[in-house]
Amino acid sequence: MLITASTPTAPPVTRMPRLLPFVAWLSFIAETLIIGTGGAVRLTGSGLGCPTWPTCTPESLVATPEMGIHGVIEFGNRTLTGLVGILALIVVILVWRMRRARRDLFVMALIVLGGVVAQAIVGGITVLTGLNPFIVGFHYVVSLVLVCVCAAFLVRMKEPAAPRLRVVPTWYAGLAHATTAVLAVTIAFGVLTTGAGPHSGDAAAGRNGFNAEILEHVHAWPGYTLLALTLVLVGVAWAKRLRPRTWISVLLLAEAVQIAVGLYQARNGLPEIAVGVHMVLAALTAATMTVVILRLKAPVPAEDVATSH
């Protein structure tokens, strides 16, 4: 009888590459910066600074001196997209050997890389459709989601690869998720409000057809609801010493600053810099909310896992 020895399966790699935290943070920062530069493109009227895609003009890959500052701003944003993509690719490469032990990190890294590629295509569609406000809004929302995924990666990267259990009361977790939904509604109405406002990215670009003044008020209602819900979450978290208490407090601060910026811009004719800050703060607020949701659970200690088996 012929007996063949089976090839032993190599144990999954669990050791974190030393470079990974640094690159992951760079990726998060770059994803946030590109929201700022994307906002600058629209707020300075540079949306068609490069009138074609993927080249800047039919004859040139890069902006030419004749295109002026608008070409520089638009091409600069496109260049940053390349940097964001490179960083996302490096993160995927760094977690590749860990993909069996840390499937969560590997999947999130792939989502970010795929999202960057998709964003480049959506950016091209945005230019080719003459800055359609709905596509511009979708472009922003996807960027915001990628910032949240990068934030989730940073949180999970610091935790062991272990089962996670909820460490807050059931009703508290439900309220936190409801607050997340209200935040999503607030951002959605903010995108619609911007799409109806004066900052179209180019004088020839159309608007979405909604009444901007009415949308400003509608956008504010879920914003104030979000603040009220967050106040409840903060009060309970500190009273009961719940795990998310620090980050839920950061969320409350971010919301307060965001409301202040929103009121300032609404009462001062929507100055470009305030609108840009409002856009970036919305992404950072959503990223903070992501961290809060993740901290509703905690990894199960290794000894507890061993005991359960």
Quick: pLDDT tens for 125-169.
988 888 888 888 899 999 999 999 999 999 999 998 888 999 999
Percent of the chain with pLDDT over 70: 90
Paired tokens of 71:
């070409």
Q: List Cβ<8 Å contacts ≥24 apart for 90-97.
A: 90/23, 91/20, 91/23, 91/24, 91/27, 91/153, 94/17, 94/19, 94/20, 94/23, 95/17, 95/20, 97/13, 97/17
The confidence band for 93, taking pLDDT boundaries of 50, 70 and 90, is very high
The confidence band for 308, taking pLDDT boundaries of 50, 70 and 90, is very low
Q: Model-level pTM?
A: 0.90
Q: Considering only 208-212, 227-231, 268-272, which range has the smallest mean pLDDT?
A: 208-212
Q: Which amino acid is at 76?
A: G
